[in-house]
Structure 1
Amino acid sequence: MADADRDERPDRPAEVDGTTHLFRALGKQIKVLREAAGLSQKELGAATHCGEALISAMERGVRTPQPDFLERADVLLDARGVLRAAVPDVREAQTKARTRHPEWYRNYAKLEAGAVELHDYSNQVVHGLLQTEDYARAIFSQRRPLLDEETIAIRVVDRMARQQLFERWPAPTCSFIVEEAALQRPIGGRTVHEAQLRQLLRVGRMRTVELQVMPTHREEHPNVDGVFTLLTAETRQQVAYTEVQGYPRLITDAEQVRLITARYGILRSQALNARESLALIEKMLGER
């Protein structure tokens, strides 16, 4: 559902457009200026209304520095217009990012970015909005047919950029149901797997996010038809998105959406509640 292996298909247009290099270079500039100013990532984050993790991700080139951040950081870091000068290039890169994917994905991405509600059920891997950088890279690296390194790098950047959804205010209401089996699969190896579980704990503790785990031992299951996402757009229209073996479908028919919504409600009632789910993840990490 527009994440793990479900968001870019073989019919995509060429993706090598320099965007990745721009963000990496800009991230290095931010880091040099920050260190020269004697600020930690946490201090810069507080001064620019960003989280420490976001500053770190921008410096590594895996998150897009927004124009308003560059404007504020230029003054705070005494960059003398260096960061501000990059704003037009960033805006152009963002436009390219919105248009380099197939039309079906652009439509979904636009809905996701502006959603007021997002509810998701995943059964194979962790949803893209919840993935760490390394987990996302492992997912893309294992795809068949194999992707080249440049494409992998661009897709990781795009995936991390989608997570800015959580930083919007007013924040969208988000809930995620993930199968326990998906959390047990150590994609990328033990270190990557542990970091991914910690990421789930971090996001799951947000006030605007509800994370639930569907236990493998459940004898009943209301949804054996695959993954799906329910989105409520800014217009307040609710739609559903599904994808099977690279065939995406955006469902707008009210009756079909109603049926999927009802199914999601049953899933939520059968899954562990949020507190129990976080406790299970902590247990997987050996913290309980």
Structure 2
Amino acid sequence: MGEWEAGLDDEEAGAVMRTVTRQLKLWREAAGLTQAEFGAAIGYGEELVSCVERGRRIPRPEYLDAADEVLGAGGKIAALKQDVAEVRYPKKVRDLKKLEAEATELCAYNNSVIHGLLQTEKYARAVLSARRPPFTADQLEQQVSARVARQEIVSDTTARPLFNFVQCESTLRRPIGGKMVMREQLERLLQVAKFPNVDLQVLPLGREENSGLDGSFRLLRLEDGSTVGHVEVAHISRVIAEPKEVQLLDIQYGIIRAQALSPRESMALIEKALGET
């Protein structure tokens, strides 16, 4: 079971990992085990144990569970899983997840791929695998897991936050991952579109007017009444808090939403795309 690399330039993650690795090393030494002996006992190699204790690898939950059992920590090491849960993901993902958790309403327009909160795991993997330069195998797993973890807020059991997604029809027609992956993804859209707190709209390719040609973006309306925007282009992720810039995005989104089909009409179009896949 490979581990994930720790972001050495991530101060928040670094502080958490220093605490975790210090505890792991102290427990191992108190048990009188070398790194090689400890690794053999929990099913890991000495080199990986060394990387974890030096903070260069973030341990998976299985690693911490095995360490807790072998070292007789009585749950004290296993409890560290909660501390490392969030820092396993890249900082920009953690920051975005925090914003999404604080939002009372999330609005998003996408014209290249299905929105990340709506993606199936297979679709997300296909999207992230297409990145150039490519992710390493560990980085890819980290990115996929982070994206799936963010989707916890989209549920049919809660009334908040409110979601409005507008997808350009091109995202329904682009067979990312192949036909079977795309069929599963379209079925997921139809499922989520029925959630009581979700409005899903499609902006048809046949529209003469499309105010979203300059790219995807999202708006998050927060509990304190403020609104922030978020744009992601290539390898750049940017949160927009300047009121004038946010206002422009808000106006643009309102126009895009008016140009799109109604939620009911959008479901019919998604069903049609599914039938043609």
Higher RCO, 1 vs 2 (CA within 8 Å, ≥6 residues apart) = 1
Q: Deviations over 1:58-98 (max 9, x none)?
A: xxxxxxxxxxxxxxxxxxxxxxxxxx98972431232323x
Q: Which residue of 1 aligns with 2:14?
A: none
Structure 1 equivalent of residue 83 of structure 2: 92
The corresponding residue for 2:259 is 270
2:111 to 120, 123, 133: 123
User: Secondary structure of 1:269's match?
Assistant: helix
Residues 1-288 of structure 1 aligned to structure 2 (within 5 Å): 16-19=57-60, 88-97=79-88, 100-102=89-91, 104-167=92-155, 169-286=158-275
Question: Percent sequence identity over matched residues?
Answer: 39
The alpha-carbon deviation at position 143 of structure 1 amounts to 1.1
State TM-score, norm by structure 2: 0.70
Please tell me whether the aligned partners of residues 223 and 267 of structure 1 are also in contact (alpha carbons under 8 angstroms): yes
Distance in 1 (CA, whole Å) between partners of 2:77 and 2:254 is: 45
Distance 1:19 1:117, change over 3 A: farther
Point out the structure with max Rg over C-alpha: 2
Q: Distance in 2 between matches of 1:183 and 1:22?
A: 40
Residues 153-207 of structure 1: CA distance to partner in whole angstroms, max 9, x if unpaired?
Answer: 1211111110111247452010000110111011111110000000000111100
Q: Do the aligned residues in 2 keep the contact of 1:20 with 1:153 (CA within 8 Å)?
A: no
Structure 1 CA distance for aligned equivalents of residues 253 and 218 of structure 2: 9
Unaligned runs of 5+ in 2: 1-6, 11-54, 67-74
State the one-letter code of the partner of 2:87.
Answer: K
Cα distance in 2 between the residues matched to 1:87 and 1:205: 38
For residues 86 and 113 of structure 1, do their structure 2 counterparts lie closer, same or farther at Cα, with a shift above 3 Å needed? farther
Equivalences, count:
217
Q: Gaps (5+ residues) in structure 1?
A: 1-9, 27-83
TM-score, scaled to structure 1: 0.68
Match of 2:202, SS? strand
Residue 70 of structure 1 corresponds to none
